[in-house]
Amino acid sequence: GSVAWSLAARHASRLKRMAILNAAHPAVWVHAMRNDPEQRRKAGYVRFLQVPFLPEMVLRISRYDGLSKALATACPEAFPPDVLQHYQRAWRRPGALTAMLNWYRALLRQPVEMPERGALTPPCLILWGDDDPFAIPALADESAALCAEAEVVHMPGLGHWTIHDASETVLTHL
């Protein structure tokens, strides 16, 4: 989602359209983290991830329990034990964990400019699981407001991993 938002802002002509699944525009997310107590609570882990080296150490010592728990917020069939083992092997690869966490670190370290309302020109479909444990539903609508043409589909009862929780519904909308 962050990559799509960045492309829409910097290289809109390269996109015919974009679809976003539970990923707010980075400037909308940062604004909510600074101003919305509920969003701060839901994504408080991102502040912990800003600390150099410590998150990696804690995740390794706990055998990646925090990451496994984040995936466990999806429907039980989404990440069965054999699939989680593949993820854990990937997380153990040298540099992989830091590379993953750096996406979150960059969100708060680099200034993110808030586009004008309607400034992002590629047509945008935002599919949003309203029961996302990491993000409030209002982020979808606030992100859509930055687009010249956007449709937001709120999906009550779904969380962050919409493609895993309701793949047929997501594919139908796509």
pLDDT digits (tens, 9 = 90+) for 41-77: 999 999 999 999 999 999 999 999 999 999 999 998 8
Q: In this predicted model, what pLDDT tens digit does every residue of 111-152 receive, in sequence order?
A: 888 999 999 999 999 999 999 999 999 999 999 999 999 999
Q: For position 107, what pLDDT does the model report? A: 82
Q: For position 76, what pLDDT does the model report? A: 86
Q: In this predicted model, what pLDDT tens digit does every residue of 8-32 receive, in sequence order?
A: 999 999 999 999 999 999 999 999 9
**Which 3-state string (H, E, C) describes 95-130?**
CHHHHHHHHHHHHHHCCCCCCCCCCECCCEEEEEEC
- CB neighbourhood size of 149 (10 A): 13
